[in-house]
Structure 1
Amino acid sequence: MNKILIGTFIGMLTCAFSAGAEEAQMTRLSKITVDADHLPAYRAALAEEVRASMALEPGVLSLYAVFDKEEPTRLTILEIYASRQAYEQHVKSSHFLKYKNGTLHMVKSLELVDVDPLLPELKIK
């Protein structure tokens, strides 16, 4: 009998942990270097994609792109998604695919860094 109770309790904990993990926000830094010859076109494509994502996808909480002042071809995007599932939906969206496929030839390097926020509950004003 005790084994059944322990097994049930462990199962409940596993389900609760899994459900919480699915709902946890996903935060990532995308570090990108763009070919200087394509920088204006890249910036326009990225701006269009960010605007569409923020307007159309409730699971996209932030796509905040910043360009390095010293090296304007280098940028970092702070990406915050409501969940891993929201991220998965984002990368399948038509506006993201248009951006991704349209800028592939412009990107010299891409590094995706998953990060843990210090205060995940803190919202960007």
Structure 2
Amino acid sequence: MKVILSKRFLLTTVIAILGIGTVSALSFDQQQEFDNAPVVGMYRFVIPSELQGAYNSVGVENLTNSMIQEPNTLSMNVAHVKTNPTTSYVIEIYKDGNALDTHRKSEHFQKYVNEVGSKLTNRKLYDVQPMLLMEKAEPLSAINDNTSVVSMTEFTIEKNEEDTILKQYQLDIERAIRDDAGYKAGYILRDRNNKTYWYVIQIYSDDVAYKKHVSSPGYRFAMGQIQPYLKNSKTEVLQGDILVNHGGQSFLRN
């Protein structure tokens, strides 16, 4: 079954989340077709220095209340660039468009938009769709613990190698979820408009867990299998700020 979401709905959501005043060269009346996979939002922005305190306090309130009050808001993650704490990334996962709409209308989200979200700068929206979403069974709640690590890898894949790459990542992430206490979640996304461009986001309890994973035989074997089919691969290691989920998420695109 497919779900049809209007451009009006999607752009209204983007405007609310990122504080965008106007969106040009797009028709609100166009329709766009999306499949019934979970809805993923991914954003990057800069937090002005004078907003750092408010951004953190209101952000924590928004994301933790989302976990308490919104069972279909599945995962909310904020992390910053270690060498530049003012630059942050957000990855949000919702069961479906209705869950996203519920979050967007919530009191805690509206407070975030009014006090902070509308004042962020250098915003970028990534138009992505999930390929794989996996989490440990137990809920995650890592809030300003100063130890959590988020790795973000992006690359271009060779055409016709999608199945190989997804399978190798799936095997490695499933193993890490099962066997590594410090490995918390793995998300694979692709650009909706350029399906050969992928992002891999992985969440760890700390730097030790991150280094353990990337040096493990399973990870090295998987990377050895897929490396010939990747182009322009780059990885950025981020400091986790607010990482919360209900746990147990398991989605694989067929």
- For this structure pair, what is the TM-score category when the shorter chain's length is used for normalisation? 0.7 to 0.9
The 8 Å contact of residues 75 and 92 in structure 2, kept in 1 or not, is answered as yes
1:22 to 1:88, Cα distance in 2 relative to 1, 3 A: farther
Q: How does 1:42-53 map to 2 (within 5 A)?
A: 42-53=55-66
Shift of 1:71: 1.0
CA separation in 1, counterparts of 2:49 and 2:95? 33
CA separation in 2, counterparts of 1:100 and 1:114? 20
Measured on the aligned residues, the alpha-carbon RMSD in Å equals 2.0
Higher relative contact order (CA 8 A, sep 6+): 1
Q: State the percentage of identical aligned residues.
A: 28
Q: Does 1:89 align with 2:102?
A: yes
Shift of 1:22: 6.8
Poorly superposed stretches of 4+, deviation over 3 Å: 16-19
CA separation in 1, counterparts of 2:35 and 2:98? 7
Q: Deviations over 1:40-81 (max 9, x none)?
A: 221111111111111110111011100111111110011000
TM-score (norm 1): 0.75
Q: Which runs of 5+ in 1 are unaligned?
A: 1-15
By percentage of residues, which structure has more helix?
1
Pick one of 94, 110, 116 that aligns with 2:123: 110
1:111 to 1:54, Cα distance in 2 relative to 1, 3 A: same
Q: Which amino acid aligns with 1:72?
A: P
Partner of 1:46: helix, strand, or coil? helix
The 8 Å contact of residues 42 and 125 in structure 2, kept in 1 or not, is answered as yes
Per the alignment, residue 2 of structure 2 pairs with 17
By percentage of residues, which structure has more strand?
2
Report the number of matched residues.
108
Shift of 1:23: 4.2
CA separation in 2, counterparts of 1:105 and 1:117? 27
Partner of 1:29: helix, strand, or coil? strand
The 8 Å contact of residues 76 and 91 in structure 2, kept in 1 or not, is answered as yes
Larger radius of gyration: 1
Partner of 1:91: helix, strand, or coil? helix
Partner of 2:85: helix, strand, or coil? coil
TM-score (norm 2): 0.39
Shift of 1:85: 1.2
